[in-house]
Chain A
């Protein structure tokens, strides 16, 4: 895995990595992918993928409104609050 790929993936994952971490992960991720490469030994051309194993399909429920957490409870985990709302960085300039 090239260094610029590690940097790009870190950007996608919103992780700020140090140069030391980038170097370390570059080697470790390359090693792990080599280990995973052994899956190529198994033929899967006609095999369907499995994303979950419950056998359940289309689990629905009634769309009813119910009592939920209060605004104060929802905001209790952060100090960054403005007028009873979460405060975040501006997305637009």
Chain B
């Protein structure tokens, strides 16, 4: 039988409603697991033990009421972890940066508020690359999170803490944020589901801003169905974020019940890079065969060389970073600018340069124009196919230390996700196999804007046909 902390959101919901266990027992099981293993894994920056136990007791009161079965709070009594760049009222929020080492927000991010409204218990805040700048968690100014599959390796990033916490079964569900790869890449390296929604589907209010035209909060979970539960709670217009879409939020869980429509899947040949890890290529090709067996039609397609998206992303992201981090003056909250780590300083420098007089047209404007070409490229390909499938990361989890002294480490790791994020597209990582060394490999499914239902359907079909998502590292 599964330990309580191993449960999925779906299983936890059912168990709580059928009174097989209480929210207090479930929360305690997660806290015990964190106590036992997080010294090694280091997924959490803050564990909210007292608050989460109080919240669990309150949840149990609601669950013990006569009409609890009709309660509509999707995550009632379920412990979740939140990346440390989401503001949590009264709970330290650092974005893994020394600038915010003692920052206690006086308000909740919309994502946090919606998790609470859905009844979720926020068990703690997870480690990340400082300000979400990176793909390793090595730029965290506190410590590096370890990959639970091999503690000498990185979990990926920037949402590496949320990914490690999930796959180590320290928590039932988690939330991350992605600007380009920060949900999908750690999900690939840790072997779990990471769902980056369409830009504007989930509010950025209270998310410590990185690149405002790209930042997208999203679920990091044990299954596709769990991601649907979390996204359902998070998605929708927010008057505090003018870029959120007024489009109605579909019923994602209902979508999973629907019959899979005849789908045409595009395989972008440029996304199988020269010199890429051969095991990744073979495993993803095997996964594509599974999709074919499920009745999906496979078609090779061509997209712009992903190298260009790395260049565009680098300029736009650094520019937006230099503007967003300009607010940290050490006067109103946080430490002064001397506390920025090296990666943040480097990004501020490049962005300030790219936006400065005399260089704006050559870099920023040029990058914005190529962003248009990238959007058009996806429009063209989505007139031929419904979805795209490709590897998520060109490699498996790399060794601790791999990102040091490589100023483009994050961009090269994220080469296969940057174009889709520039176009604001949704994408999901699904675990689809392992390397000979036993490290997880992920594939991503990318769809047109607001095609989340289709991503859930295709992902769910794949998950039903395979059991990669059930694999867990052996922790001792």
Contact = CB atoms under 8 A, between A and B. Distances in A.
A16 interface: yes
24 contacts: A6-B349, A13-B348, A13-B352, A16-B337, A21-B345, A31-B407, A32-B314, A32-B408, A35-B310, A36-B311, A38-B307, A39-B366, A42-B373, A44-B366, A47-B372, A49-B369, A50-B371, A53-B199, A53-B422, A56-B246, A61-B242, A73-B106, A77-B332, A77-B333
A52 B213 contact: yes
Contacts of A17: 345
Given A15-B348, A53-B423, A36 B199 contact: no
Contacts of B423: 53
Interface in B202-234: 213
Contacts of B369: 44, 47-50
A83 interface: no
A33 to B, nearest CB: 8
A19 interface: no
Interface in A68-93: 69, 73-74, 76-78, 80, 86-88
A49 B368 contact: yes
Contacts of A1: 353
Contacts of B242: 56, 59, 61
A77 B127 CA distance: 22
Interface in B221-279: 239, 242-243, 245-246
A76 B320 CA distance: 28
If over half of A's interface residues share one DSSP class (helix, strand or loop), that class is named, otherwise mixed; here it is loop
B142 interface: no
B350 interface: yes
B312 interface: yes
A14 B346 CA distance: 13
Interface of B: 103-104, 106-107, 199-200, 213, 239, 242-243, 245-246, 307-308, 310-312, 314-315, 322, 326, 329, 331-334, 337-338, 340, 342, 345-346, 348-350, 352-353, 356, 363, 365-373, 375, 407-408, 422-424, 449
Contacts of A21: 342, 345
Contacts, number: 134
A16 B338 contact: yes
Given A25-B345, A25-B349, A35-B408, 13 more contacts: A6-B349, A9-B352, A15-B348, A25-B346, A35-B311, A39-B367, A44-B372, A44-B373, A50-B372, A52-B243, A53-B449, A59-B243, A74-B106
Given A13-B352, A29-B350, A78-B333, A50 B408 contact: no
If over half of B's interface residues share one DSSP class (helix, strand or loop), that class is named, otherwise mixed; here it is helix
A69 B106 contact: yes
A54 B424 contact: yes
Contacts of A5: 353
A51 interface: yes
Nearest to A77: B333
B211 to A, nearest CB: 11
Nearest to A42: B370
A33 B314 CA distance: 10
B213 A53 contact: yes
A50 B308 contact: no
Contacts of B199: 53-54
Contacts of B106: 69, 73-74, 76-77
